[in-house]
Amino acid sequence: MSNPKNYIAGEWVDATDAADDINPSNTNDVIGRFPRASKADTERAIQAAKAAFPAWSRSSVQERHDILKRIGDEILARKDELGRLLSREEGKTLAEGIGETVRAAQIFLFFAAECVRLAGEKLPSVRPNIDIEITREPMGVIGIITPWNFPIAIPAWKIAPALAYGNCVVFKPADLVPAMAHALSEIIVRAGVPAGVFNLVNGRGGEVGQTILEHPDVAAVTFTGSVATGRKVAAACIGSMKKFQLEMGGKNPFVVLDDADINVAVECAINSGFFSTGQRCTASSRVIVTEGIHDKFVRAMTERMKTLVIDDALKPGTQIGPVVDKNQFEQDLSYIEIGKAEGAILAAGGEILKRDNPGFYLAPALFTDVGRDMRIYREEIFGPVVAVMRVRNYEEALLAANDTPFGLASGIATTSLKYASHFKRNAEAGMVMVNLPTAGVDYHVPFGGRKGSSYGPREQGRYAAEFYTQVKTAYTFA
């Protein structure tokens, strides 16, 4: 990638600082050198967005529709090439990279259509001869701060509704995935967004991110990332009275009951525990199994794990790519040591793998004999490490599933309508899956969690309007 830049106030601009972008499947492969914006660059982007807002917020819904549609169409037309770049940069497999790219296109196309569907309400007043109109208006400048694990889908599900509802955007992608952010930004610019409406400021969280959080001209911040950073975002946004939305970590449970179809249970646990290298916020890293099926389930899991192909993300046949970088790799390995030291049994995997090229290859790890107080059972690892806990019955399983400060996704494998229905009603999570992996969601319905996983309105689908608009109630006497 030749000389990538940031995009500020309608121009591609250089920065004084830059960093290399490394392929985690082959650390000798440098994807490019990407500029890191400064505080001053970020302030310029915010000012440009503020200046563009009056015209953009009054632009026709047809214009906004057409721009978003062009973005979605180009992403879709280039899905193979963009999916390849995504896999090279983030380390998920090519199929996953292409799948995520298609998802991003679908999100832009969904919000293109939403532009021409934004509706209000008209109500009679309780007083005579007065009409009331309730309308939704854009917020202003939206700061968008994203993580590395979905380098195109998460930016898409924040940028698309922000633009659709008439807001201007300052987009700060994660440091580890600047190439995808750059590729997406080029497409957005090419689609014809007016200068200042969309700005890309790639750079450090502590500098670019913090400037967005503290700036008085940013009306709202949407953040996806870790709990630790989310806390900082919340504190800074409250300090400057901004609207904010946080999507953070998870320690998602997957319950397997005695009556489960064993194949469904194993495939769900394998998929949501290990695919995308376990680096999905909706991954199920805790599997809670009732005692009648426990041993059979663990045997079937370990057998299935032997068939998993862990290799270069771009290599045909790879099912699980490398861990995203050295820091995350070391974190995963340290949790594997913690699990062993805590007395859990490492039933399968957990070892460093050597492949043709130097990369962060780790065999997915399955721990059994896990206790509820162990750190591997309570803390988000964000890698391919699954902790299995044995329980006596459904009631214990439900208590265990809810016994966490997080509440993003929760799943169950059962053939019982009674338990499935009870679990859907009583799981303390924003998203519940029955006989499905906890990871893997649709784009036209709300996404988000409860408790320590999320804060603020839901993302995606029509619920996105809650965050990206503000409500006005107008009274007319006539």
- Give me the residues that bind ligand NAD (CB under 6 A), please: 145-150, 172, 174-175, 205-206, 209-210, 213, 224-226, 229, 232-233, 247-250, 281, 380, 382, 408, 453
Nearer to ligand NAD, 285 or 290 (CB): 285
> Chain-centre distance of CA 475, in angstroms?
40
Evaluate whether 33 touches 20 at the Cβ level (below 8 Å): yes
Which CB atom, from 38 or from 229, has the smaller least distance to ligand NAD?
229
Cβ proximity of 375 and 342 under 8 Å: yes
Residue 413 class from Cβ within 10 Å (0-12 exposed, 13-18 middle, 19+ buried)?
buried
Q: In what order do the strands lie in the sheet with 130-138?
A: 121-124, 130-138, 469-477
Rg over alpha carbons for the chain, rounded to the nearest Å, is 23
Q: Which residue has the tokens 């006497």?
A: 477
Q: Which is nearer to ligand NAD, 24 or 147 (CB)?
A: 147
Residues 6 or more apart whose CB falls under 8 angstroms from that of 361 comprise 310, 311, 322, 323, 352, 353, 354, 355
- CA of residue 463 relative to chain centroid, distance: 16
Name the residue nearer to ligand NAD (CB basis): 21 or 380. Answer: 380
Site of tokens 């370990």: 302
- Nearest-approach distance from CB 394 to ligand NAD, in angstroms: 27
List 43, 247, 380, 459, catalytic entry:
247
The distance of closest approach from Cβ of residue 251 to ligand NAD in the complex, given in angstroms and rounded to an integer, is 9
Strand partners, 123: 132
- DSSP-based helix, strand, coil % in the chain, nearest 5: 40, 25, 35
The CB-of-373 to ligand NAD minimum distance in angstroms stands at 21
Residue (136 or 232) nearer to ligand NAD, CB: 232
Cβ burial 106-126 (10 Å sphere, 16+ → b, else e): bbbbbbbebbeebeeeeeeee
Q: How many CA atoms lie within 13 A of 158 on its CB side?
A: 32
Which regions of 159-306 does DSSP assign to beta strands (E)? 168-172, 198-200, 220-224, 243-247, 252-256, 284-290
Q: Which is nearer to ligand NAD, 166 or 209 (CB)?
A: 209
Rounded least distance, CB 438 to ligand NAD, Å: 12
Q: Which lies closer to ligand NAD via its Cβ, residue 8 or residue 248? A: 248
Which of 309, 329, 313 lies closest to 321, judged by CA?
313
* Best CA proximity match to 314, nearest among 96, 164, 133: 96
Measured from the CB of residue 154, what is the shortest distance to ligand NAD in angstroms? Answer: 6
Closest CA to 266 of 298, 244, 242: 298
- 214 token code pair: 């503290």
Shortest spacing between CB 442 and ligand NAD, in angstroms: 14
Q: Whose Cβ is closer to ligand NAD: residue 172's or residue 286's?
A: 172
Catalytic residue among 115, 168, 237, 281: 281
Enclosing H/E stretch for 153:
helix 153-164
Q: Where are the beta strands (DSSP E) in 243-395?
A: 243-247, 252-256, 284-290, 345-348, 365-368, 385-391
Helix, strand, or coil (residue 457): coil
Minimum CB distance to ligand NAD, residue 189 (Å) = 20
Min separation Cβ 207 and ligand NAD, Å: 9
Of 210 and 302, nearer to ligand NAD (C-beta) is: 210
Active site residue 90: no
| Shortest reach from residue 309's CB to ligand NAD, in Å | 25
Q: Give me the residues paired with residue 287 across strands.
A: 254, 388
Catalytic annotation present for 247: yes
Q: Which helix (H) or strand (E) holds 186?
A: helix 178-190
Hey, which residues are catalytic here?
Answer: 247, 281
